[in-house]
Structure 1
Amino acid sequence: MARPVTLVTGASAGLGAEFARACAARGETLALVARRRDRLEALAAELGGEVHVFAADLAAPDAAARLITQVEARGLTVDTLINNAGFGLVGRFADLPRDRQREMIDLNVAALVELTHLALPGMRARDKGAILNVASTAAFQSGPGFGVYFATKAFVLSFTDALHQELKGTGVRVTALCPGPTATEFGAVAGVTSARFDRFSTDAAGVVRAGLKGLDRNRAIVIPGLMNKVTAQSSRILPRALMRRIVAGLKL
Protein backbone atom coordinates (compact mmCIF):
# COMPACT_ATOMS: atom_id res chain seq x y z
CA MET A 1 0.00 0.00 0.00
CA ALA A 2 1.39 3.40 -1.01
CA ARG A 3 2.35 5.73 1.77
CA PRO A 4 0.44 9.03 1.96
CA VAL A 5 2.19 12.04 0.45
CA THR A 6 2.58 15.24 2.45
CA LEU A 7 3.69 18.46 0.77
CA VAL A 8 5.32 20.97 3.13
CA THR A 9 6.16 24.51 2.03
CA GLY A 10 8.82 26.57 3.76
CA ALA A 11 10.43 23.27 4.72
CA SER A 12 14.08 24.34 4.89
CA ALA A 13 13.97 25.61 8.49
CA GLY A 14 11.80 26.38 11.50
CA LEU A 15 8.28 25.02 11.64
CA GLY A 16 8.55 23.64 8.11
CA ALA A 17 11.53 21.45 8.98
CA GLU A 18 9.78 20.31 12.16
CA PHE A 19 6.68 19.41 10.16
CA ALA A 20 8.90 17.36 7.85
CA ARG A 21 10.45 15.51 10.79
CA ALA A 22 7.08 14.82 12.38
CA CYS A 23 5.49 13.60 9.14
CA ALA A 24 8.50 11.42 8.33
CA ALA A 25 8.12 9.82 11.76
CA ARG A 26 4.51 9.05 10.83
CA GLY A 27 5.73 7.10 7.80
CA GLU A 28 4.65 9.59 5.16
CA THR A 29 6.28 10.29 1.82
CA LEU A 30 7.44 13.90 1.79
CA ALA A 31 7.51 16.61 -0.86
CA LEU A 32 9.56 19.43 0.65
CA VAL A 33 9.50 22.92 -0.83
CA ALA A 34 11.67 25.97 -0.13
CA ARG A 35 14.04 28.32 -1.93
CA ARG A 36 17.22 26.86 -0.41
CA ARG A 37 17.90 23.53 -2.12
CA ASP A 38 21.01 22.82 -0.05
CA ARG A 39 19.03 22.95 3.17
CA LEU A 40 16.28 20.79 1.74
CA GLU A 41 18.78 18.18 0.61
CA ALA A 42 20.46 18.18 4.03
CA LEU A 43 17.07 17.69 5.69
CA ALA A 44 16.19 14.90 3.26
CA ALA A 45 19.45 13.13 4.10
CA GLU A 46 18.69 13.49 7.81
CA LEU A 47 15.19 12.08 7.46
CA GLY A 48 15.84 9.15 5.15
CA GLY A 49 12.85 7.37 3.65
CA GLU A 50 11.15 8.72 0.54
CA VAL A 51 11.72 12.47 0.42
CA HIS A 52 11.35 14.59 -2.72
CA VAL A 53 12.98 18.02 -2.83
CA PHE A 54 11.61 20.97 -4.81
CA ALA A 55 13.50 24.26 -4.85
CA ALA A 56 11.04 27.06 -5.59
CA ASP A 57 10.30 30.68 -4.75
CA LEU A 58 6.57 30.50 -4.18
CA ALA A 59 6.26 34.29 -4.23
CA ALA A 60 7.10 34.27 -7.95
CA PRO A 61 4.27 34.45 -10.52
CA ASP A 62 2.79 31.03 -11.36
CA ALA A 63 5.22 29.31 -8.98
CA ALA A 64 2.44 27.34 -7.29
CA ALA A 65 1.17 25.90 -10.58
CA ARG A 66 4.70 25.02 -11.69
CA LEU A 67 5.34 23.29 -8.38
CA ILE A 68 2.24 21.09 -8.59
CA THR A 69 3.17 20.18 -12.18
CA GLN A 70 6.63 19.09 -10.97
CA VAL A 71 5.15 17.13 -8.07
CA GLU A 72 2.74 15.29 -10.37
CA ALA A 73 5.56 14.62 -12.86
CA ARG A 74 7.23 12.53 -10.16
CA GLY A 75 4.11 10.43 -9.82
CA LEU A 76 3.08 12.00 -6.51
CA THR A 77 -0.47 12.74 -5.40
CA VAL A 78 -0.75 15.26 -2.57
CA ASP A 79 -2.75 13.75 0.28
CA THR A 80 -1.83 16.39 2.87
CA LEU A 81 -0.87 19.99 2.13
CA ILE A 82 0.92 21.98 4.82
CA ASN A 83 1.03 25.65 3.79
CA ASN A 84 3.77 26.88 6.09
CA ALA A 85 5.86 29.21 3.90
CA GLY A 86 5.78 32.85 4.93
CA PHE A 87 7.72 35.73 6.43
CA GLY A 88 7.16 39.01 8.24
CA LEU A 89 8.67 42.49 8.31
CA VAL A 90 8.87 44.82 11.30
CA GLY A 91 8.54 48.54 10.72
CA ARG A 92 6.13 51.30 9.81
CA PHE A 93 4.20 50.55 6.63
CA ALA A 94 5.33 53.74 4.84
CA ASP A 95 8.98 53.09 5.69
CA LEU A 96 9.23 49.48 4.52
CA PRO A 97 10.12 48.67 0.88
CA ARG A 98 7.02 48.31 -1.26
CA ASP A 99 8.43 45.35 -3.21
CA ARG A 100 9.22 43.38 -0.05
CA GLN A 101 5.74 43.98 1.32
CA ARG A 102 4.22 42.84 -1.97
CA GLU A 103 6.45 39.75 -1.84
CA MET A 104 5.12 39.05 1.66
CA ILE A 105 1.53 39.19 0.42
CA ASP A 106 2.38 37.00 -2.57
CA LEU A 107 3.96 34.34 -0.36
CA ASN A 108 1.82 34.48 2.79
CA VAL A 109 -1.51 34.81 0.97
CA ALA A 110 -1.47 34.28 -2.80
CA ALA A 111 0.76 31.18 -2.87
CA LEU A 112 -1.23 29.60 -0.03
CA VAL A 113 -4.54 30.18 -1.80
CA GLU A 114 -3.24 28.95 -5.15
CA LEU A 115 -1.70 25.76 -3.74
CA THR A 116 -4.91 25.05 -1.85
CA HIS A 117 -6.97 25.55 -5.00
CA LEU A 118 -4.65 23.29 -7.00
CA ALA A 119 -4.57 20.48 -4.44
CA LEU A 120 -8.22 20.53 -3.44
CA PRO A 121 -9.91 19.08 -6.57
CA GLY A 122 -8.00 15.81 -6.26
CA MET A 123 -8.77 15.57 -2.56
CA ARG A 124 -12.47 16.14 -3.19
CA ALA A 125 -12.51 13.56 -5.97
CA ARG A 126 -10.92 11.00 -3.63
CA ASP A 127 -13.08 12.22 -0.73
CA LYS A 128 -9.95 12.21 1.37
CA GLY A 129 -7.24 14.71 2.19
CA ALA A 130 -6.01 17.32 4.63
CA ILE A 131 -4.91 20.96 4.48
CA LEU A 132 -3.08 22.70 7.31
CA ASN A 133 -2.61 26.44 6.86
CA VAL A 134 -0.19 28.14 9.23
CA ALA A 135 -1.67 31.43 10.44
CA SER A 136 -0.67 33.08 13.75
CA THR A 137 -2.05 34.63 16.90
CA ALA A 138 -1.33 37.82 14.92
CA ALA A 139 -4.48 36.96 12.96
CA PHE A 140 -6.72 38.02 15.84
CA GLN A 141 -5.84 41.73 15.95
CA SER A 142 -4.20 44.49 13.93
CA GLY A 143 -0.45 45.01 14.26
CA PRO A 144 0.88 48.57 14.16
CA GLY A 145 4.56 48.30 13.24
CA PHE A 146 3.91 44.85 11.75
CA GLY A 147 0.79 45.77 9.81
CA VAL A 148 0.98 43.87 6.53
CA TYR A 149 2.17 40.67 8.22
CA PHE A 150 -0.69 40.73 10.73
CA ALA A 151 -3.12 41.39 7.88
CA THR A 152 -1.83 38.43 5.86
CA LYS A 153 -2.33 36.13 8.82
CA ALA A 154 -5.84 37.48 9.39
CA PHE A 155 -6.57 36.53 5.79
CA VAL A 156 -5.18 33.02 6.27
CA LEU A 157 -7.32 32.47 9.37
CA SER A 158 -10.52 33.79 7.79
CA PHE A 159 -9.98 31.88 4.55
CA THR A 160 -9.17 28.61 6.32
CA ASP A 161 -12.10 28.92 8.71
CA ALA A 162 -14.46 29.39 5.76
CA LEU A 163 -12.93 26.49 3.85
CA HIS A 164 -13.27 24.24 6.89
CA GLN A 165 -17.01 24.92 6.92
CA GLU A 166 -17.41 24.49 3.16
CA LEU A 167 -15.83 21.03 3.34
CA LYS A 168 -17.71 19.77 6.38
CA GLY A 169 -19.25 16.39 5.67
CA THR A 170 -16.56 15.49 3.14
CA GLY A 171 -13.42 13.48 3.71
CA VAL A 172 -11.24 16.60 3.46
CA ARG A 173 -9.99 18.08 6.73
CA VAL A 174 -8.95 21.74 6.98
CA THR A 175 -7.24 23.40 9.95
CA ALA A 176 -5.70 26.80 10.70
CA LEU A 177 -2.71 26.64 13.05
CA CYS A 178 -2.24 29.88 15.02
CA PRO A 179 1.04 29.79 16.95
CA GLY A 180 2.40 32.69 18.94
CA PRO A 181 6.11 33.62 18.94
CA THR A 182 8.03 30.45 18.12
CA ALA A 183 11.73 29.61 18.40
CA THR A 184 12.62 29.68 14.67
CA GLU A 185 14.48 31.95 12.21
CA PHE A 186 11.31 34.02 11.78
CA GLY A 187 12.30 36.79 14.19
CA ALA A 188 15.69 37.33 12.60
CA VAL A 189 14.24 37.45 9.08
CA ALA A 190 11.48 39.84 10.16
CA GLY A 191 13.93 42.19 11.85
CA VAL A 192 12.63 41.59 15.38
CA THR A 193 15.15 42.95 17.89
CA SER A 194 13.19 42.84 21.15
CA ALA A 195 14.31 40.27 23.73
CA ARG A 196 10.62 39.94 24.61
CA PHE A 197 10.04 37.94 21.42
CA ASP A 198 12.60 35.31 22.43
CA ARG A 199 11.40 35.27 26.04
CA PHE A 200 7.87 34.33 25.06
CA SER A 201 8.80 32.02 22.17
CA THR A 202 7.50 28.46 22.31
CA ASP A 203 9.10 25.23 21.13
CA ALA A 204 8.65 24.60 17.41
CA ALA A 205 8.26 20.83 17.84
CA GLY A 206 5.42 21.38 20.31
CA VAL A 207 3.65 23.71 17.91
CA VAL A 208 3.91 21.11 15.16
CA ARG A 209 2.57 18.34 17.39
CA ALA A 210 -0.43 20.50 18.30
CA GLY A 211 -1.05 21.37 14.65
CA LEU A 212 -0.97 17.79 13.41
CA LYS A 213 -3.13 16.60 16.30
CA GLY A 214 -5.70 19.27 15.49
CA LEU A 215 -5.60 18.39 11.80
CA ASP A 216 -6.12 14.70 12.56
CA ARG A 217 -9.20 15.69 14.58
CA ASN A 218 -10.38 18.15 11.91
CA ARG A 219 -10.38 21.11 14.27
CA ALA A 220 -11.03 24.39 12.50
CA ILE A 221 -8.54 26.41 14.57
CA VAL A 222 -5.62 25.31 16.73
CA ILE A 223 -3.90 27.75 19.12
CA PRO A 224 -0.99 26.02 20.90
CA GLY A 225 -0.23 27.11 24.45
CA LEU A 226 -2.27 28.68 27.24
CA MET A 227 -0.80 32.18 26.91
CA ASN A 228 -1.45 32.19 23.18
CA LYS A 229 -5.07 31.17 23.77
CA VAL A 230 -5.40 34.04 26.27
CA THR A 231 -3.89 36.46 23.74
CA ALA A 232 -6.32 35.36 21.04
CA GLN A 233 -9.32 35.61 23.36
CA SER A 234 -8.24 39.05 24.59
CA SER A 235 -8.85 40.49 21.14
CA ARG A 236 -12.51 39.47 21.43
CA ILE A 237 -12.95 41.03 24.85
CA LEU A 238 -10.79 44.16 24.90
CA PRO A 239 -11.62 47.25 22.80
CA ARG A 240 -9.79 47.34 19.46
CA ALA A 241 -8.26 50.71 20.30
CA LEU A 242 -6.68 49.21 23.43
CA MET A 243 -5.40 46.18 21.51
CA ARG A 244 -3.83 48.49 18.92
CA ARG A 245 -2.00 50.39 21.63
CA ILE A 246 -0.82 47.17 23.29
CA VAL A 247 0.60 45.77 20.05
CA ALA A 248 2.12 49.12 19.08
CA GLY A 249 3.81 49.28 22.49
CA LEU A 250 5.58 45.95 22.10
CA LYS A 251 8.41 47.64 20.19
CA LEU A 252 9.46 44.49 18.39
Structure 2
Amino acid sequence: MCDTAAVAVHTRILSVLAAFSSERPNLTLSEISRATGLPKGTAHRIVTQLVTWGALERDERHYVIGLRMFEIGALAPRAYRHRARILPFLEEAASATGAEVMLAVLDKDEAVLVEHLGGRRAVALAAGLGERLPLHASGVGHVMMAFGPGELLNVVCARPLPPVTSHTITDASALRAAVARVREAGVSVLPHSMLAGTVSVAAPIFAERGAFAGAILFVCPVARTNVKRLSKTALQTAHRISAALGS
Protein backbone atom coordinates (compact mmCIF):
# COMPACT_ATOMS: atom_id res chain seq x y z
CA MET A 1 0.00 0.00 0.00
CA CYS A 2 2.80 2.40 0.87
CA ASP A 3 4.51 1.80 -2.47
CA THR A 4 1.23 2.35 -4.30
CA ALA A 5 0.61 5.58 -2.41
CA ALA A 6 4.14 6.78 -3.19
CA VAL A 7 3.63 6.11 -6.89
CA ALA A 8 0.36 8.05 -6.80
CA VAL A 9 2.08 11.04 -5.18
CA HIS A 10 4.91 10.98 -7.72
CA THR A 11 2.41 10.76 -10.56
CA ARG A 12 0.55 13.79 -9.25
CA ILE A 13 3.76 15.79 -8.88
CA LEU A 14 4.78 14.95 -12.44
CA SER A 15 1.32 15.86 -13.72
CA VAL A 16 1.66 19.33 -12.15
CA LEU A 17 5.03 19.89 -13.84
CA ALA A 18 3.68 18.53 -17.13
CA ALA A 19 0.87 21.10 -17.05
CA PHE A 20 3.41 23.78 -18.02
CA SER A 21 4.39 24.19 -21.66
CA SER A 22 5.57 26.84 -24.09
CA GLU A 23 1.91 27.64 -24.76
CA ARG A 24 1.14 27.74 -21.02
CA PRO A 25 4.27 28.98 -19.22
CA ASN A 26 2.29 30.82 -16.50
CA LEU A 27 -0.53 29.08 -14.65
CA THR A 28 -2.78 29.98 -11.76
CA LEU A 29 -3.61 27.38 -9.14
CA SER A 30 -7.06 26.97 -10.67
CA GLU A 31 -5.55 26.38 -14.11
CA ILE A 32 -3.16 23.79 -12.67
CA SER A 33 -6.08 22.05 -10.99
CA ARG A 34 -8.07 21.94 -14.25
CA ALA A 35 -5.10 20.82 -16.36
CA THR A 36 -4.19 17.96 -14.01
CA GLY A 37 -7.66 16.96 -12.87
CA LEU A 38 -6.51 17.27 -9.25
CA PRO A 39 -8.74 18.79 -6.57
CA LYS A 40 -7.69 22.35 -5.86
CA GLY A 41 -6.60 21.51 -2.31
CA THR A 42 -4.38 18.65 -3.53
CA ALA A 43 -2.93 20.84 -6.27
CA HIS A 44 -2.17 23.56 -3.72
CA ARG A 45 -0.28 21.16 -1.44
CA ILE A 46 1.85 19.84 -4.34
CA VAL A 47 2.50 23.31 -5.74
CA THR A 48 3.57 24.56 -2.30
CA GLN A 49 6.08 21.69 -2.02
CA LEU A 50 7.42 22.39 -5.50
CA VAL A 51 7.81 26.08 -4.72
CA THR A 52 9.69 25.28 -1.50
CA TRP A 53 12.05 22.97 -3.40
CA GLY A 54 12.53 25.46 -6.25
CA ALA A 55 10.87 23.54 -9.08
CA LEU A 56 8.21 26.26 -9.30
CA GLU A 57 8.23 29.96 -8.54
CA ARG A 58 5.33 32.29 -7.91
CA ASP A 59 4.91 35.42 -10.02
CA GLU A 60 2.09 37.48 -8.52
CA ARG A 61 -0.92 35.16 -8.91
CA HIS A 62 0.76 32.85 -11.44
CA TYR A 63 3.20 29.97 -11.06
CA VAL A 64 6.15 29.48 -13.41
CA ILE A 65 8.89 26.88 -13.76
CA GLY A 66 11.64 27.57 -11.24
CA LEU A 67 15.35 28.01 -11.76
CA ARG A 68 16.06 24.69 -10.03
CA MET A 69 14.47 22.89 -12.98
CA PHE A 70 16.73 24.75 -15.40
CA GLU A 71 19.77 23.75 -13.37
CA ILE A 72 18.76 20.10 -13.47
CA GLY A 73 17.87 20.24 -17.17
CA ALA A 74 21.33 21.57 -17.95
CA LEU A 75 22.75 18.28 -16.70
CA ALA A 76 21.00 16.23 -19.40
CA PRO A 77 23.95 14.52 -21.12
CA ARG A 78 22.50 14.34 -24.62
CA ALA A 79 21.64 18.02 -24.57
CA TYR A 80 24.86 19.45 -23.14
CA ARG A 81 27.60 16.83 -22.99
CA HIS A 82 29.12 18.08 -26.26
CA ARG A 83 27.91 21.68 -26.00
CA ALA A 84 31.34 23.26 -25.57
CA ARG A 85 32.65 21.50 -28.66
CA ILE A 86 29.59 22.14 -30.82
CA LEU A 87 28.70 25.74 -29.95
CA PRO A 88 31.61 27.44 -31.81
CA PHE A 89 30.56 25.77 -35.06
CA LEU A 90 26.94 26.82 -34.58
CA GLU A 91 28.00 30.41 -33.86
CA GLU A 92 30.16 30.51 -36.98
CA ALA A 93 27.36 29.09 -39.13
CA ALA A 94 24.80 31.55 -37.75
CA SER A 95 27.13 34.45 -38.40
CA ALA A 96 27.95 33.32 -41.94
CA THR A 97 24.38 32.57 -43.05
CA GLY A 98 22.19 34.87 -40.97
CA ALA A 99 19.88 31.88 -40.49
CA GLU A 100 18.30 30.55 -37.33
CA VAL A 101 20.66 27.71 -36.41
CA MET A 102 19.53 24.91 -34.12
CA LEU A 103 20.67 21.56 -32.83
CA ALA A 104 18.20 18.70 -32.34
CA VAL A 105 18.49 15.30 -30.70
CA LEU A 106 16.21 12.28 -30.96
CA ASP A 107 14.01 11.42 -27.99
CA LYS A 108 12.10 8.21 -28.70
CA ASP A 109 10.14 9.25 -31.78
CA GLU A 110 10.37 13.03 -31.58
CA ALA A 111 13.05 15.63 -32.26
CA VAL A 112 13.94 17.93 -29.35
CA LEU A 113 15.66 21.27 -29.95
CA VAL A 114 18.53 21.56 -27.46
CA GLU A 115 20.41 24.56 -28.84
CA HIS A 116 19.33 27.68 -30.74
CA LEU A 117 21.27 30.63 -32.09
CA GLY A 118 19.19 33.46 -33.52
CA GLY A 119 19.95 34.75 -37.01
CA ARG A 120 19.85 38.15 -38.65
CA ARG A 121 16.89 37.34 -40.89
CA ALA A 122 13.35 37.95 -39.74
CA VAL A 123 11.78 34.50 -39.74
CA ALA A 124 9.06 32.86 -37.69
CA LEU A 125 9.81 29.51 -36.07
CA ALA A 126 7.57 26.51 -35.59
CA ALA A 127 9.33 25.58 -32.34
CA GLY A 128 11.91 27.01 -29.98
CA LEU A 129 14.53 25.81 -27.53
CA GLY A 130 13.40 22.79 -25.54
CA GLU A 131 10.40 22.17 -27.77
CA ARG A 132 9.67 19.17 -29.98
CA LEU A 133 9.20 18.68 -33.71
CA PRO A 134 7.27 15.85 -35.39
CA LEU A 135 9.59 13.65 -37.41
CA HIS A 136 7.43 13.36 -40.53
CA ALA A 137 7.03 17.13 -40.93
CA SER A 138 10.47 18.48 -40.02
CA GLY A 139 13.85 18.56 -41.72
CA VAL A 140 15.61 17.23 -38.64
CA GLY A 141 13.00 14.48 -38.46
CA HIS A 142 13.77 13.34 -42.00
CA VAL A 143 17.47 13.33 -41.15
CA MET A 144 16.80 11.26 -38.04
CA MET A 145 14.76 8.72 -39.98
CA ALA A 146 17.47 8.53 -42.65
CA PHE A 147 20.49 8.17 -40.36
CA GLY A 148 19.12 7.27 -36.92
CA PRO A 149 17.81 3.94 -35.58
CA GLY A 150 16.90 1.53 -38.35
CA GLU A 151 13.35 0.91 -37.12
CA LEU A 152 12.47 4.60 -36.73
CA LEU A 153 11.09 5.13 -40.24
CA ASN A 154 8.80 2.11 -39.92
CA VAL A 155 7.53 3.33 -36.54
CA VAL A 156 6.66 6.76 -37.95
CA CYS A 157 5.08 5.39 -41.14
CA ALA A 158 2.87 3.00 -39.16
CA ARG A 159 0.92 5.82 -37.54
CA PRO A 160 -1.12 8.77 -38.87
CA LEU A 161 0.92 11.61 -40.39
CA PRO A 162 -1.09 14.74 -39.59
CA PRO A 163 -0.50 17.83 -41.73
CA VAL A 164 1.19 20.82 -40.13
CA THR A 165 0.87 22.89 -43.31
CA SER A 166 -0.50 22.10 -46.77
CA HIS A 167 3.04 21.07 -47.80
CA THR A 168 3.56 18.50 -45.04
CA ILE A 169 4.06 14.93 -46.28
CA THR A 170 1.11 12.90 -45.01
CA ASP A 171 1.49 9.73 -47.10
CA ALA A 172 3.73 6.93 -45.85
CA SER A 173 5.02 6.00 -49.31
CA ALA A 174 5.90 9.61 -50.08
CA LEU A 175 7.63 9.91 -46.70
CA ARG A 176 9.74 6.80 -47.38
CA ALA A 177 10.74 8.25 -50.75
CA ALA A 178 11.66 11.60 -49.18
CA VAL A 179 13.78 9.92 -46.50
CA ALA A 180 15.54 7.84 -49.17
CA ARG A 181 16.48 11.07 -50.99
CA VAL A 182 17.85 12.52 -47.74
CA ARG A 183 19.90 9.38 -47.16
CA GLU A 184 21.37 9.71 -50.65
CA ALA A 185 22.02 13.47 -50.53
CA GLY A 186 23.11 13.63 -46.89
CA VAL A 187 20.94 16.69 -46.29
CA SER A 188 17.22 17.45 -45.95
CA VAL A 189 15.58 20.47 -47.59
CA LEU A 190 11.94 21.06 -46.62
CA PRO A 191 10.17 24.25 -47.73
CA HIS A 192 6.89 25.25 -46.08
CA SER A 193 6.51 21.92 -44.27
CA MET A 194 6.44 23.18 -40.67
CA LEU A 195 5.65 26.83 -41.33
CA ALA A 196 4.59 28.49 -44.58
CA GLY A 197 7.19 30.87 -45.98
CA THR A 198 10.17 29.17 -44.38
CA VAL A 199 12.61 26.52 -45.53
CA SER A 200 14.50 24.18 -43.22
CA VAL A 201 17.83 22.62 -44.17
CA ALA A 202 19.14 19.87 -41.90
CA ALA A 203 22.15 17.56 -41.85
CA PRO A 204 23.18 14.67 -39.56
CA ILE A 205 25.82 14.79 -36.84
CA PHE A 206 27.77 11.72 -35.76
CA ALA A 207 29.86 11.09 -32.65
CA GLU A 208 32.33 8.41 -31.59
CA ARG A 209 32.43 5.31 -33.77
CA GLY A 210 29.95 6.88 -36.17
CA ALA A 211 27.05 6.83 -33.73
CA PHE A 212 24.20 9.11 -34.76
CA ALA A 213 24.22 12.11 -32.40
CA GLY A 214 21.57 14.45 -33.78
CA ALA A 215 21.01 17.00 -36.52
CA ILE A 216 21.92 20.58 -37.25
CA LEU A 217 19.08 22.73 -38.56
CA PHE A 218 19.02 26.00 -40.51
CA VAL A 219 15.72 27.90 -40.89
CA CYS A 220 15.37 30.83 -43.33
CA PRO A 221 12.70 32.65 -45.32
CA VAL A 222 12.11 30.76 -48.57
CA ALA A 223 12.04 33.89 -50.71
CA ARG A 224 15.48 35.12 -49.68
CA THR A 225 17.44 31.89 -49.45
CA ASN A 226 19.90 30.25 -51.81
CA VAL A 227 19.00 26.69 -50.85
CA LYS A 228 21.91 25.10 -52.71
CA ARG A 229 24.43 27.30 -50.89
CA LEU A 230 22.75 26.78 -47.52
CA SER A 231 22.71 23.02 -48.04
CA LYS A 232 26.44 23.08 -48.69
CA THR A 233 27.01 25.09 -45.52
CA ALA A 234 24.83 22.68 -43.51
CA LEU A 235 26.81 19.68 -44.76
CA GLN A 236 30.16 21.33 -44.10
CA THR A 237 29.14 22.41 -40.61
CA ALA A 238 27.76 18.96 -39.77
CA HIS A 239 30.98 17.30 -40.99
CA ARG A 240 33.11 19.65 -38.91
CA ILE A 241 31.02 19.03 -35.78
CA SER A 242 31.16 15.28 -36.37
CA ALA A 243 34.94 15.43 -36.69
CA ALA A 244 35.15 17.41 -33.44
CA LEU A 245 33.05 14.74 -31.71
CA GLY A 246 35.40 11.99 -32.84
CA SER A 247 33.42 10.54 -35.72
Please confirm whether the aligned pair reaches a TM-score higher than 0.5, indicating the same fold. Answer: no
TM-score norm. by structure 1 comes to 0.26
- Higher RCO by CA contacts (8 Å cutoff, separation 6 or greater): 1
* Greater gyration radius: 2
Greater strand percent: which structure? 2
